[in-house]
Structures are given as structure tokens and as C-alpha cells.
Structure 1
């Protein structure tokens, strides 16, 4: 049996070198794939956000048409100005109620400082001071 030649078999160093290059190439290709995937997802999210915006605008237009329909329906039994006035008063009342409820919710959330945590820290400081004065 003849001994294998160095040209027939790669050395361990060459194999490690090849492994290192292939690993680097694999990592680079995975990073590129991740970038491409994130780009595609970002574009899809942008389109989705745009569609939500369009839905909001169309919903606002629909609400306006619904309000106009209520005015026209009331105008069948009242003068047009009376129907519009009644609908306006109802809308302003709903806005006022929403404002009062919203103000109450905001006042519950203010001040934005974490009051319970601050109180706990104050108690901890007092406990530490009391422990050192003895």
C-alpha cells in the first residue's frame, strides 16, 4: 500500500481555514437574509399602517354621512334648521360627556411620578436612618 500524498489530502490547517471561511460566509448570508426579511416586514407594516389611516379617514367620513342622515331624517318632521340644531346639541353633549370622563381619567393618572414607589423609598430611608441612630 502506498502512503497518501499531501496533495491528495488536505492538511488540518487547510480544513480549519475552509471551515472558517464557510462559517463566515454562512453567517453573512444569514445576516443578509435577516435584513431582507426585516425590510419586507417593515414594508408590510408600513402598508398596514397606511391602511389603518385610510380606514380612520373613511370612518370619519362615514360618521359625517350618518350625522347628515340623522339631520335629514329629523327634517322630515321639523324645519331643517331645527333638525340640524337638535343634532348639533346632541353632538356637543356627547363631546362634553367625553371631555369630562377623559379629564377624570387624566387626573387619576397625574402626577406621572410613581407615588407608591416614592413612598416606599421614603419609608426605606426612614428605616435606615432609624437603624443607624441606635
Structure 2
């Protein structure tokens, strides 16, 4: 059975440094666990979201194929079939280029996934320790 540490006002400098070391070690371990849990939770949500997004993309692609075929068939009523297909293809390539440029910009602006809560907590802990040490 461990004896409880003496009250800070009754402890020696050595005992206080020992307590500080132990508390800092525990604090760092707890912060690491918090960061690991936060990153793990974010990764799970990211994986699920990416899977759902991929499925939505597949079904959207299939729907787009049907619409493209309908557009070609509609234009083929007034133009030769090959010309209708070329016109629809050019329009699709223009739309693809615009979407690619917008997507590239959004990806460049995205921040890397970091454990923001854990980082903020560690900064608060460091500030508290610095403030306590300066007293």
C-alpha cells in the first residue's frame, strides 16, 4: 500500500520535484491517449464517409450514363447520330474540366487531419505548468 504524498506546503523540494515528474508523466500519457482516441475516431468517420461517398459516386455515374445516352438520342432526332454524340462528349469534357479545377482548389485548401482538441489541451497544460513554475 502506497503512502499518500505529503501536502505541498509540508513537502521537501525533492518530494515536490518527484511529484511534478510523476504528474507530468501521467499528463503526457493521458494526452497521448486522448490524441490517439481522437485520431482513431476521425479515421473511422473518414473511412465510413469515404465509402458512402464512393457508393454515391458510382450510382451518380450510372445515372449520368443514362442521361448522356438520352441526350445523344434526343440530338440524333435533328442531327446525324455521330454528330450528336460528339457534341454531347465535348460538353461532358468541358464540365469535367471545370469540376476538376474546382476540386483541385478545394483539396489544396483542406487542412491535414490533426487531433486539434488534443493539441489545444496540451497547449493549455503547458501554459498552466509554465504559469505555476513562474510563481
TM-score (norm 1): 0.48
**Larger-gyration structure (1/2):** 1
